[in-house]
Structure 1
Amino acid sequence: MASTQHPNNLELLTLIWIDYLADATQENREVQARLRTKINYLRTFDNCQDGEHYIRNVIDDKQEKIVLIVSGRLGPDMTQRVHDLKQVVSIYVYCLNKEANEQWAKNYKKIRGVIVRLSDLLYEIDRDQKSEEQKLNEAIEISTKEDYSLLLLLRTKLSLKDRRDFVSFCLKEYHDNESQKENVRDYEHLYSSSSAFDYFFNETFLYRLLLKSLHTFNIKLLYLLRFFLRDIEKQLESLPTISGKVYHGQLMTTAQVDCLSQTVENTFIQFNTYFIASSNQEHIRQLLQTAADNYLQRVIFEIDDKNNIGKQYKQICMFPITTTFRVTSVRLEQRIWIVQMTAHNDIHDSRLKEEIDPIQLAQYFREMNRLDQAEILFELIQTQHSSLTAECYDGLGRIAQDRGHYDISLSFYLKSLQTISSKNRAQCLNNIACAYDYLDQYEEAIQFYAEALDLMKTALERSTCLNNMGVTYAKENEIQQALDCFQRALTLRRTSLVENHPEIGICYANLGMIYVTLAQYDDALEHYNLALRSFSSNKFCDISRAIVYQNMASIYYHKNQIDQALKYYQTAQKIFRQLRSADHPNLLYIQQQIEQIMQNK
């Protein structure tokens, strides 16, 4: 049987103890409490089968790293079962008979020691965690996509409540760990912005929570920890820069090395952690050569910091969390991969340098189609700031709408309306109307659009509402009224927008829809192509592009141009798959159409 502990591990390491008496005696329960002063997340098992199942099937081998303690009695069997798994980084034999167990233990390179005294075990675990060799094993992910999420987290406004909420979060997480709760209370009273480096480099609970949340991109924890990120970055700014080359050692998967090879002179990459390097290449090489490779590839990153991005702190070079790198070459040299890179920290968009509010941060994640993370942020912000309840309900409604859950989105919009400011009331009414439209309740939709239109002042606001109203009229087959709405919307938008603006494209797309209804298919295709031209200038218009491709496919199908229809359906499907869940109504419909075409070919 296994002990019951926290369902999620928010720190870097998982500690597993295999001993048939692990939970059976008061003495061993006290041992557990002592062990958790070093690694909070502890699981105990009284047999090898359950322990192996947990390690193989419950632990995420990409993110979790396991320190395993085995008894002398169960050690040989358990070690043989899991020694070669990548997620197991260290093994300790905690036993009564040191000499006897050293005989079998010497055959396994991951066994760090055969130990009799608890104090020695605690010392070795602590030392091992902080060793340079273990740093080689820390999880690292490579991103080749342009991602401003960490930069925007750093730019998000802080409040006094953020620190209090973080303390409450930690006390809840460590509720049954007195040692860690004491650390949290010390932090609450002693932490200051100028002490961020001390908390980071002394590998406190703050350090462990930060690194794990970066590795897994735990948005809730990163949001609560953004004060720590900001303080670290502020201290980095005050440090001298390093010029010349620095080196970082890492154990990586073959797939990660392949990914690096594919990015050579091709794209910028980012790492999901603070990148720390050294000027001593030979020391890094020796570490890699002597470390247990854990069936991973040995890698040395050689960073040419000609742009003076890295900062010198004592004997190391530390790069800001937002640093990007360009890989210039990847080669294998004496069984070690040498990855040459240059460091960059260019931010060309001035908007990314400005401070933003928490709602803007959540909206960014929604716009990037990271809906789960956006949802977490809106829910968290709502609990923190009662004054932003209406904005949070609005955001949650938009997320539900993006997921195709229109009844849920309507519920959130109606809640938002109850506390919305007069300034934002018109937009909220427009959103409610959209939700009714999606639910095929057209009379209610027209009613709310009309109410919203009466409150709207600017040309762009009115054009958006008219455009939406036109869609609803078209669904009710009131074609002339729909055409009138779309033409009025296009006229309003042309007064303040350039011709290739995406909002102009939406008007073209909707006029195309009307021409389809009027059976003027060539005119419809012409307007759809104008829409695509407008959407091509903005990466956030992929959904609109997909809808246009879907509509064009329907036209070609109607004109019996089957190959063209199939091509456009497949193009729409490809875009939707990147942005919507597999059960989204659009994807289900397109799949049905593709299957029908394939059956009839």
Structure 2
Amino acid sequence: MTSTEHRNNLELLTLIWLDYLADATQENREVQARLRTKINYLRTFDNCQDCEHYIRNVIDDKQEKIVLIVSGRLGPDMTQRVHDLKQVVSIYVYCLNKEANEQWAKKYKKIRSVIVRLADLLYEIDRDQKSEEQKLNESIEISTNEDYSLPLLLRTKLSLKDRRDFVKFCSKEYDDNESQMEKVRDYEHLYSSSSALDYFFNETLLYRLLLKSLHTFNIKLLYFLRFFLQDIEKQLESLPTISGKVYRGQLMTTAQVDSLSQTVESEFIQFNTYFIASSNQEHIRQSLQTAADNYLQRVIFEIDDKNHVGKQYKQFSMFPITTTFRVTSVRLEQRIWIVQMTAHNDIHDSRLKEEIDPIQLAQYFREMNRLDQAEILFELIQTQHPSLTAECYDGLGRIAQDRGHYDISLSFYLKSLQTISSKNRTQCLNNIACAYDYLEQYGEAIQFYAEALDLMKTGLERSTCLNNMGVTYAKENEIQQALDCFQRALTLRRASLVENHPEIGICYANLGMIYVTRAQYDDALEHYNLALRSFSSNKFCDIPQAIVCQNMASIYYHKNQIDQALKYYQTAQKIFRQLRSADHPNLLYIQQQIEQIMQNK
């Protein structure tokens, strides 16, 4: 086992050394330590089969790029196997007989050098990492989906403990690599908020960790690094804006170029990294023309920054991490794709402009249905801040509930109740009641709802509890009690909220459910449509919208309006597929209903 095999790779490059004796001698173990001064994450292999399997199956779906060192003996076979893989960016032949190995190596354009001396190998690896060609090869992903995760991280409060925990995290990851630990100590003693851009453009450890965490969206590392993101953005605000057009060179897949072509004048796009550009178009063009393309497309982004979004830092043009771009044209010119874009940085959601605390950050990730990342955040916050244990248990309970794991959610809620403050006790009681309801233990659910309702003081709090009680009564077929709860909840919400508020939509949806039980199907459809109208105005109401569509489909099926039933089941299915796992109970039920309809048509 190599010294980094048990760790996650926190940086962009993976270094692989293939040699029969890579782990066999003390001298070679010392070579490994020297290699890790250049690229921390090192894997060694003594045969081509295991090495190829790792490159193809472990690295293939990740953002890592591989720097491969091969011996003269294993090099010809291994290079032939993996040379054309996109994740392999550089190959070095480290051998005893340079002249003999240069004969076969010259056939492969990814082989940088045939080297005999370790010092020369270290120098070449270091130089290539800093080359413009490597920057052209940097992984870059394009998204057309509106993503609030980075704006939220930029608004999340910091504490001194965050930076101490970041140092602890890095010390644990790099504890066996003294050269990297020196860089951790450098950050700990020398870093200041005003030096953030210097740390970024000097490609320090902070820079490498930030780029990898952005590329893979490692939420734990991004949470630790949000101080760096916030410092960069604050420094950018004080810099002069870009004047004129700027350019960026990039090597991209054919699929990425096609994706850009499809967004012309239709969608805004975002990149998963800081977008750095230059005013020197000719230099970028020359760099692209001389770079090994690694079977990728050569691309020049031409940005017309008429909205003054980009900032000038020394010779660099840098756009804030929240920048969106609009593609105006894509054309092929002398074997280089020219992608013309305009830059925008408008944030309309008021919540993304206000400071939030870490618990709110985790809650927002849950609302965005990024449940795995929300779970990581709640667990991390619980470790960092033991005083927030009750809130974290509550969040973990809600995540388990979202996944349909109702017994697990109940367990978390009961743990939360043991440590929660008296002012938050009512919400916890309400959550416990909900969990019992999902587990079809309706008597226990009503008991906890009633206890919560007695403690609630505000109209909106009481309306939520009454609404939930109504749902449970309806499941118990106590229709009059359910109707009474829903009507009281609607009255309380109308007194405080606008008519198209999603909470009022929930009341309409539940009244629709009651009308179904009374076989008043037209009244039910009327209230469901009112609910959909409320939900459509809120981007976080996809789940309630899907449930209403599912219920409307059931009504249409009962009324023998099969086409309408199929339409609403398929709408519900489409929404649930984006937000729920394939084995979620709702999805399984809807699929059964669709199959039944299709068989009977």
Q: What 5-or-longer segments of structure 2 have no aligned partner?
A: none
Moved more, 459-468 or 493-502: 493-502
Cα distance, 1:7 vs structure 2: 4.1
Cα distance, 1:337 vs structure 2: 0.6
Cα distance change of structure 1 residues 350 and 516 upon mapping to structure 2, 3 Å threshold:
closer
Cα distance change of structure 1 residues 550 and 348 upon mapping to structure 2, 3 Å threshold:
closer
1:61–1:87 contact (8 Å) kept in structure 2: no
2:366–2:399 contact (8 Å) kept in structure 1: yes
* CA distance in 1 between partners of 2:572 and 2:320 (Å): 39
2:11–2:212 contact (8 Å) kept in structure 1: yes
* CA distance in 2 between partners of 1:546 and 1:478 (Å): 25
2:4–2:42 contact (8 Å) kept in structure 1: no
Q: What is the 5 A alignment of 1:78-97?
A: 78-97=78-97
Aligned to 2:66: 66
Deviations 1:462-489 (A, max 9, x none): 1111110000000011111111111111
2:2–2:42 contact (8 Å) kept in structure 1: no
1:242–1:317 contact (8 Å) kept in structure 2: yes
1:3–1:44 contact (8 Å) kept in structure 2: no
Identity level (%): 94
**Secondary structure, aligned partner of 2:355:** coil
2:7–2:173 contact (8 Å) kept in structure 1: no
* CA distance in 1 between partners of 2:563 and 2:585 (Å): 23
Q: What is the 5 A alignment of 1:392-541?
A: 392-541=392-541
Aligned to 1:224: 224
Aligned length: 601
Cα distance, 1:2 vs structure 2: 7.1
Aligned to 2:25: 25
* CA distance in 2 between partners of 1:556 and 1:305 (Å): 52
- 2:366 aligned with 1:375, yes or no? no
Cα distance change of structure 1 residues 381 and 4 upon mapping to structure 2, 3 Å threshold:
closer
2:102–2:114 contact (8 Å) kept in structure 1: yes
Aligned to 1:6: 6
* CA distance in 1 between partners of 2:51 and 2:582 (Å): 35
Report the TM-score, using the length of structure 1 for normalisation. 0.98
Cα distance, 1:528 vs structure 2: 1.2
Moved more, 453-462 or 194-203: 194-203
Cα distance change of structure 1 residues 564 and 351 upon mapping to structure 2, 3 Å threshold:
closer
Moved more, 414-423 or 84-93: 414-423
Aligned to 2:319: 319
Moved more, 413-422 or 14-23: 413-422
* CA distance in 2 between partners of 1:113 and 1:579 (Å): 49
* CA distance in 2 between partners of 1:144 and 1:330 (Å): 16
Cα distance, 1:175 vs structure 2: 2.2
**Secondary structure, aligned partner of 1:540:** coil
1:6–1:41 contact (8 Å) kept in structure 2: no
* CA distance in 2 between partners of 1:525 and 1:372 (Å): 35
**Secondary structure, aligned partner of 2:326:** strand
* CA distance in 2 between partners of 1:598 and 1:115 (Å): 66
Cα distance change of structure 1 residues 133 and 61 upon mapping to structure 2, 3 Å threshold:
farther
Deviations 1:181-240 (A, max 9, x none): 222122212222222223222212111111000000000000001111112222222322
Cα distance, 1:61 vs structure 2: 4.5
1:3–1:23 contact (8 Å) kept in structure 2: no
Moved more, 188-197 or 484-493: 188-197
Deviations 1:392-425 (A, max 9, x none): 1111111111110111111111111112122211
* CA distance in 2 between partners of 1:492 and 1:390 (Å): 29
Cα distance change of structure 1 residues 3 and 383 upon mapping to structure 2, 3 Å threshold:
closer
Aligned to 1:270: 270
Cα distance, 1:8 vs structure 2: 2.0
2:459–2:492 contact (8 Å) kept in structure 1: yes
RMSD: 1.3
2:331–2:339 contact (8 Å) kept in structure 1: yes
Report the TM-score, using the length of structure 2 for normalisation. 0.98
1:2–1:46 contact (8 Å) kept in structure 2: no
2:69–2:94 contact (8 Å) kept in structure 1: yes
Moved more, 174-183 or 332-341: 174-183
Deviations 1:522-580 (A, max 9, x none): 22112111211221111211111111111111112222222222222111111111111
* CA distance in 1 between partners of 2:547 and 2:148 (Å): 27
* CA distance in 2 between partners of 1:263 and 1:336 (Å): 19
